[in-house]
Structure formats: structure tokens, C-alpha cells
Structure 1
Amino acid sequence: MATTVTAKGQVTIPKPVRDLLGIVPGSKVDFRRAADGNVVLTRVDGKRTVSRFAKLRGHAGEGLTTDAIMALTRCEA
């Protein structure tokens, strides 16, 4: 994603990047130079946003026993 630098040296962080890092108005960010010469943008507070898949991860509660599942698949229920 490309962006343009203004006369004041400002850039707009593209929305997909803001969403990925969880950057909202007032967020603090840091620019660091990596060993390979690239510049890395990170959030200063170190908080990581939860991915949409991680939000789905978990346990749905008490489930069926193996015997009950087998009975369902064999139409014995």
C-alpha cells in the first residue's frame, strides 16, 4: 500500500494497516529500523488486536458424549 507524504512530512496510515494493528485516534506508534533496513511500525502500548478467528476460539459448553454422537450418526437416537 502506497501513501503520499505531505509538505509537513505527515502520512496517512492506510486503513487496513490501522485495523490490523488496532490503531485508533490517539494511539501511540513507534517506527523502528529493522536489521535488514526496513522500517517497522508498531503500537507503543504493545497491545495486540484479537483476530476475528481468535474471537471464535473457545469451548461451546458441555457437549455430547462419544456414545451419543455415534448413536446420532447411526440414526439410533
Structure 2
Amino acid sequence: MTTLTVTAKGQVTLRKDLLKHLGVEPGQKIEVSELPGGRIEVKAARPGGTIDSFIGLLAGKTRKVATIEEMNEAAASGWAGRE
């Protein structure tokens, strides 16, 4: 079990090993759910799979023209919450 310290501002910093366990990288979000008995559940937030999040998925990542197979793979990864 890991013990974390609450700062004077009421904030808690998760250690790198916990973030790695969640599969969360800097800039990504986590979800916290309140459970009975003063407990919480923390998990990695996954994108909802909107078309807005899909559009521009490859923008700026490559200078070459993507093949249809590469576009299909990017679409599948984007909708599955992977980048």
C-alpha cells in the first residue's frame, strides 16, 4: 500500500509508479469516483470517442501521405482511446 501526503492546498501527487500502473502520461487525465465508506476509485480517463477527437489525429506527426491501411489503423486506435 502506498501512503500519499495531502498538501496545504488539499492536493495529492501520485508517484510515477502509480501513474505507470494506471497507464497515464503527463497531460492525460484520471477519473476519481467516490465510493461508500470514505473510499475512492482512481482510474485512467479514456476519451469518449467523439469525431472531434479523431479529426486531426495524424496532423503534424508525419510528412508522408498515409495509406488507407494506416488511416484505418489510426481510426481504430483513436476510437479505442490509444494514440
The alignment's TM-score, normalised by the length of structure 1, stands at 0.50
**Structure with more helix by fraction:** 2
Pick 1 or 2: higher relative contact order, CA cutoff 8 A, min separation 6. 2
The alignment's TM-score, normalised by the length of structure 2, stands at 0.47
Q: Which of structures 1 and 2 has the bigger CA Rg?
A: 1
